[in-house]
């Protein structure tokens, strides 16, 4: 009787071990399936990265380089403009009261030759309005 209990216990243990093994095998199969799905997704993302994002990054780098060059050009132009403004400001500062008064008078009432020249320029530039 003791022998039959051992056999029955052994069968129960084998059945339990078999169930656990099947459960572990199912879990392993599910995990492998998940890994395969993840690998396919990674491959798809890598392909998308190479086809779409890398060219965009290269284009952005090219534009950034062009923008840096344009920015440097503007900086140089501003530096030159600042120097010219400073020089003009110094020259205006050297004008005396008599010269300033003459400039104001000429601005309000220019000589006849200047008026005629300005009128001729206006007619040439506005000739398209009279066709």
Give the model confidence (pLDDT) of 47-82 as tens digits: 888 888 888 888 888 999 999 999 999 999 999 999
Q: Is the pLDDT of residue 12 over 70?
A: no
Q: φ and ψ at 111, to 5 degrees? A: -60, 160
The secondary structure of residue 29, as a DSSP letter, is: H
From CA 70, how far away is CA 15, in angstroms rounded?
79
Task: Give every CB contact of residue 110 below 8 A, 6+ residues apart in sequence.
Answer: 118
Q: What is the pLDDT of residue 58?
A: 86
Tokens of 123: 């007619």
Q: DSSP alpha helices (H): ranges in the chain?
A: 2-48, 54-93, 97-108, 112-125
């Amino acid at each position: 009787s003791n022998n039959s209990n051992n056999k029955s216990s052994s069968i129960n243990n084998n059945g339990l071990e078999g169930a656990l093994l099947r459960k572990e095998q199912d879990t392993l199969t599910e995990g492998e399936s998940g890994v395969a799905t993840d690998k396919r997704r990674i491959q798809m993302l890598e392909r998308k990265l190479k086809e779409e994002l890398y060219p965009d990054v290269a284009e952005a780098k090219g534009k950034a380089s062009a923008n840096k060059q344009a920015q440097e050009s503007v900086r140089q132009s501003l530096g030159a403009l600042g120097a010219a403004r400073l020089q003009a400001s110094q020259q205006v500062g050297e004008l005396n009261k008599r010269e300033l008064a003459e400039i104001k008078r000429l601005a309000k009432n220019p000589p006849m030759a200047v008026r005629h020249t300005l009128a001729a320029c206006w007619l040439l530039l506005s000739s398209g309005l009279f066709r």
